[in-house]
Structure 1
Amino acid sequence: MHYQFFHSSKGLLALTLGAGSSSHEIMEESYAQLSRVLQTWPDASKMISALDCLAVITFVGAADLAETELSLKAMWDVIHPKSGSNVGTIRKPRPPVLAAAISAWAFLLTTIGSWRINTDNWKEPIAFLSALLGAEDRAVRMAAGEALALCFELNLLDVSFYEDGDVEYGETGGSKTKLFLDMQALKAKISSLASNLSMEAGGKGADKKNLTDQRDLFQRILDFVKYGECPEESIKVSGKRDVLRVSSWSELIQVLTLPLSLPSS
């Protein structure tokens, strides 16, 4: 409990201080320690605590895209670990850790909207997330679905043949056409899987109580992907009159994720 409270307090402190030099200092001091935790794979509760803390201190304290990318990579190495030259068996995260890592990754991804994005860099992550829509664990499927909805909102699956980046990244017309076709295939796959999950009968996954939540989530994702309907939700903050209204996947993910950083009793 002390371990979780320690890291939760760091995240809460950064959130309280807000963006600025103090929060950036907290991130610089904490990143190395938190990334080591994610590399050593302790028990699930410590992993989740470290993921939540890294997400919040980066969200508040990162100075630029490069710093955010470091944390995104640390989280992605948990989501999709790959064996190194001296590693025999690839470790796979337990479902609760995997769901938490995806949620933390998506939370940070909400901050990159204003930065330049090279679509080709996102093909592999999006393909892997789409595969997780078939995972046995319902929480993993739902976390992957929210992350993919955000990818659609950030236009990470869209390929333009007239981007200035064509010359910069040395892309030929043929490679751009292939990327376009690959992304179109991914869009079709995600739409099909979202449709199936929005109508799931309940036989997949042991947790039946969240089946309604899953159906609702993937119906909203399907409506967004097919018709551009943004999620609209009113969240009561305190009292009867204090209501926070969100109308995008970025806002929804941020609002749903931030409470995770608060210390538990």
Structure 2
Amino acid sequence: MGRRKNFHQNSEIQKSGKLSVDFHSDTDINECTSASTQIGSKSLNHFLEQLYEKRGKTREAALSSIILSYSLGYQYQYSEKNFSELLYQCLKSFKRDSIKESCLALEVLGLLAITIGCGENSHELYKETASILSEALNTESQPQKLKLILDTLAIITFIGGNELEETEKSMQSIWDFMHSRADFKEAQSAAIFSWSLLLSSMDSWTLSYKHWRGAIPFFKKLLESDNESIVNGARQALALIFEIGCLEKFEDDTSAMEEINVEKILEDGHIPEISVKIGKQRLKVNTLPQQIQLNFVRRLLGSGFVVHMRENELLHDVFKFKPEKRQLEKKLYVAERDEVGINLFVPDVRSEDSFQRIHKSQNSIFVKARTQIRNKNRDIKGEEQGRCED
């Protein structure tokens, strides 16, 4: 496995200026788990085969089905086994003329990154897609596709960008997009949140002095935007810069920071804790970087977030979450050996025929008792097998 990144722990400010909280019950988990069993490996293999079809509608339907399967369950083994095929077929779909197919392929790539976690595959995913997505940020004009490109570039770099230079390279691509294509208002806020996600994974001492000197005045100016999403993104980015420290890396004149009221950036001047219910447990995050990561991942996974939090080791590492193992509703204890004691008065047996009749005849009480034990064990094993299959 490749080197894991040193993930920070923290959160995101939503449109209302407050941190959102989602609640999920055991029913949510059970429904997702039940539905995921309906999409087995055979179906997923079928969807993968359909990505080779000539008809665009067939490929689009297959991509949609793959997205659904990732939302309903944690498809780690399937993703590992079919990683290369999924990666390269999605890249082919991304490059096609169909906006719908291209957007669906981007969603699959993002979900694939979250599912396979850190390692050689995630680094390959980064290397094969980062440059393609970065280039697309300079040429694409469809707002929805731009937003998905930004999301996908951010998450594949967050997970698969092993080196500092790789993370900063993607941050630079997003930074250039924010400056050179500011007229795309709908994608501008997505760019800010994506840039903040990558910044949340870095330590202050690792940041370059030359790349982000203009960040503070840039985001400060965006606070005056008439677009609420952009304002919230800028507010979050500034709050993250405050928390990381080393302000001289983000501003030539650090005295300008005194003009920004921190209490206007963070509610009451501090970061409220986010508590998310995962089954009977609670995931709690109370630092800004981890909350940014939580909200970003939760948005990408949608209804699959709870299932992934229960089973995805990457998310366990990122959010320091240790899920409790589910207990069987009923425990079935099966004795390895059954013995029956029978008090039976047997008169003195003087002939072999009498012995055979009493001890070995099919009507013998000994034989009947032994048969009952075998039948009972057979019923228990059948019940246990049926319970496992359910």
Q: TM-score, normalised by structure 1?
A: 0.70
Residue 287 of structure 2 is matched in structure 1 by: 248
Q: Pick closer, same or farther for the CA change 1:4–1:72 going to 2, 3 Å.
A: same
Residue 233 of structure 1 is matched in structure 2 by: 274
Flag structure 1 segments of 5+ consecutive residues without an equivalent.
82-90, 160-177, 196-217, 224-228
Q: Pick closer, same or farther for the CA change 1:141–1:7 going to 2, 3 Å.
A: same
Q: How many residues align?
A: 204
Pick from 100, 111, 120 the counterpart of residue 12 of structure 1. Answer: 111
Larger Rg: 2
- RMSD of the TM alignment (CA)? 2.4
Residue 28 of structure 1 is matched in structure 2 by: 127
Q: Pick closer, same or farther for the CA change 1:8–1:26 going to 2, 3 Å.
A: same
Q: Distance in 2 between matches of 1:77 and 1:34?
A: 13
Runs of 4+ residues over 6 Å off in structure 1 = none
Pick from 136, 139, 144 the counterpart of residue 40 of structure 1. Answer: 139
For residue 123 of structure 1, give the secondary structure of its aligned residue in structure 2.
coil
- Can you list the C-alpha shifts for 1:101-152, whole angstroms capped at 9, x where unaligned? 0000000111111652345643301210111011110110001101111111
Q: Distance in 2 between matches of 1:219 and 1:28?
A: 36
Q: Which amino acid aligns with 2:273?
A: E
Q: Is 1:184 the equivalent of 2:274?
A: no
* Superposition deviation, residue 235 in structure 1: 2.0
* Superposition deviation, residue 32 in structure 1: 2.0
Q: Distance in 1 between matches of 2:133 and 2:143?
A: 14
Q: Distance in 2 between matches of 1:141 and 1:28?
A: 32
Q: Pick closer, same or farther for the CA change 1:243–1:158 going to 2, 3 Å.
A: farther
Pick from 112, 136, 144 the counterpart of residue 202 of structure 2. Answer: 112
Q: Distance in 1 between matches of 2:105 and 2:205?
A: 32
Q: Pick closer, same or farther for the CA change 1:156–1:119 going to 2, 3 Å.
A: farther
Q: TM-score, normalised by structure 2?
A: 0.49
Q: Distance in 1 between matches of 2:190 and 2:156?
A: 16
Q: Which amino acid aligns with 1:49?
A: L
Residue 226 of structure 2 is matched in structure 1 by: 136
Contact 1:23 1:60 in 2 (8 A): yes
Flag structure 2 segments of 5+ consecutive residues without an equivalent.
1-99, 304-390
- Can you list the C-alpha shifts for 1:14-48, whole angstroms capped at 9, x where unaligned? 11111111000011111122112101032000100
Q: Which amino acid aligns with 2:254?
A: M
Q: Distance in 1 between matches of 2:222 and 2:133?
A: 25
